[in-house]
Amino acid sequence: MSLQLYLEIASYAFNLIGLVVCLAGLTLVQRTRHRWPGYLLAVGGFLIAAFPVLYQMLAATA
């Protein structure tokens, strides 16, 4: 099995984990003291969720 097939299988897990991390970051943003770490956590969660799609886009160009 290729890496592409494993990535397609794991895309649901990446999306769920990324969604939870992003929501945790956005919850942290609501508190005025913790704005920047919350923004960074939300962006990190988005990148985790988008990793399978980004990998497929970059692999297609190579």
pLDDT at 61: 83
Q: Could you tell me the maximum CA-CA distance found in the chain, to the nearest angstrom?
A: 47
- Look at 6 and 1; give whichever has higher pLDDT: 6
Confidence of residue 48 (pLDDT cuts 50, 70, 90): very high
Distance CA 42, CA 6 (A): 25
pLDDT at 42: 94
Q: Structure pTM?
A: 0.79
φ, ψ of residue 3 to 5 degrees: the values are -65, -35
Distance CA 21, CA 38 (A): 10
Distance CA 38, CA 36 (A): 5
